[in-house]
Amino acid sequence: MLPESLLLPAIRASLLAGRNIMEVYSSDFDVELKDDLSPLTLADKQAHNSIVEELAHFGIQILSEEGSSIAYTERSGLQQLWIVDPLDGTKEFVKKNGEFTVNIALIESQIPVLGVIYQPTENLLFFGCEGKGSYRLRNCGSGFSLPDTLSEFLALCTRLPDTPPHSDLRVACSRSHLNTETSRYVSKLKKGQKEVSFVQAGSSLKFCLVAEGSADVYPRFGPTMEWDTAAGQAIAVNAGGQVINPDTGQSLVYNRKDLLNGSFLVKGPGLSSGMEF
């Protein structure tokens, strides 16, 4: 199926998942620990179930952080695959700082061709689609109704990037992950720039900061999984940016045998050519 024909269904799935998440967020919820000691809540499970229910009838398999794994021998031959993180930023969810998201991506021949990121606490939606570009929509909470056609919907949204030019180099950084390698990278940037400033955000929102132009680069030197980055990559790339391995300069690819990502840089349109780090 063409990615653009799946965009509205993916957005609908993200909004429904967000509403399920907020029901749990406002309650006195329990926190479990998974085998890797990362947190798990009822919100993760309910968001997963609602996304699967919404997308399953398209006949495209779904690889979700909270779902049963698909053997590589089975998914390696798939032309299309959904990669989903029903609640990206569970640590942020538990802290109740609001910076968690729903991530839904469509992978085609190992490339993220569609990505949706929804921040339910802010009713804030970001999405990107091959051939259509990347967009942001505010105020899409419980009272919002999706239009029937994609053209009607895009007319409500803001095309990205949309941030005025700025003289300083803005670095997106995490509230939860700032390791030695990231600090070293930032120090290197400071030596080459007149002014470096920082924009903090949790979960996949850092990809969105780069896509809209609020940040110029997001460096990540630490472990992530494919479902953490696929949707954000689609949004950043379709806004004119890049998501690359800093050692090879190559774009990240998906539906790999090993779902663990290496280090990466998300570079905005102004950095994707000419300015290298």
What's the pLDDT at 189?
Answer: 82
Q: Are residues 116 and 14 in the same domain?
A: yes
CATH number of the domain enclosing 250? 3.40.190.80
Which residues, listed in sequence order, are joined to residue 1 by a DSSP beta bridge?
none
Asked, for residue 276, whether it belongs to a domain, the answer is no
Asked, for residue 135, whether it belongs to a domain, the answer is yes
Q: Are residues 230 and 124 in the same domain?
A: no
What's the pLDDT at 178?
Answer: 63
Helices (runs of H) and strands (runs of E) counted in the chain = 8, 16
Please check whether residue 48 is in contact with residue 66, taking contact to mean a CB–CB distance below 8 angstroms: yes
Q: Are residues 186 and 130 in the same domain?
A: no
Given 160, 195, 219, the domain boundary residue is 160
pLDDT average, residue stretch 186-191 = 81
pLDDT average, residue stretch 252-274 = 86
Backbone angles phi, psi at 60, to 5 degrees: -110, 125
Number of domains in the chain: 2
Nearest Cα neighbor of 139 from 119, 155, 154 is 119
> Residue 92: in which H helix or E strand, if any?
helix 90-95
Asked, for residue 262, whether it belongs to a domain, the answer is yes
Given 107, 136, 160, the domain boundary residue is 160
Asked, for residue 70, whether it belongs to a domain, the answer is yes
Which tens digits make up the pLDDT trace of 75-124?
Answer: 999 999 999 999 999 888 998 989 999 999 999 999 999 999 999 999 99
Q: Are residues 140 and 177 in the same domain?
A: no
CATH number of the domain enclosing 25? 3.30.540.10
Which residues, listed in sequence order, are joined to residue 220 by a DSSP beta bridge?
264
Q: Are residues 86 and 184 in the same domain?
A: no
Query: CA separation (Å) from 199 to 103, 196, 218, 249?
Result: 21, 10, 9, 24
What's the domain range around 179?
Answer: 169-267
What's the pLDDT at 139?
Answer: 96
Asked, for residue 35, whether it belongs to a domain, the answer is yes
Asked, for residue 112, whether it belongs to a domain, the answer is yes
Q: Which residue has the higher pLDDT, 162 or 167?
A: 162
Which tens digits make up the pLDDT trace of 217-262?
Answer: 999 998 899 999 999 999 999 999 999 999 999 999 999 999 999 9
Distance CA 154, CA 160 (A): 12
Asked, for residue 174, whether it belongs to a domain, the answer is yes
Secondary structure letter of residue 272 according to DSSP: S
Q: Are residues 126 and 229 in the same domain?
A: no
Q: Are residues 206 and 230 in the same domain?
A: yes
Give one DSSP letter per residue of 225-261, joined into a string. EHHHHHHHHHHHHHTT-EEE-TTT-PBP--S-SS-EE
pTM of structure: 0.94
What's the pLDDT at 273?
Answer: 43
Given 109, 140, 160, the domain boundary residue is 160
Instruction: Quickly state the pLDDT bin for 202 (edges 50, 70, 90).
Output: confident
96: left (phi over 0), alpha (psi -120 to 50) or beta: left
Q: Are residues 120 and 204 in the same domain?
A: no
Q: Are residues 24 and 79 in the same domain?
A: yes
Q: Are residues 174 and 259 in the same domain?
A: yes
What's the pLDDT at 165?
Answer: 82
Q: Are residues 188 and 246 in the same domain?
A: yes
Which tens digits make up the pLDDT trace of 26-74?
Answer: 998 998 988 877 888 899 999 999 999 999 999 999 999 998 679 999 9
Asked, for residue 275, whether it belongs to a domain, the answer is no
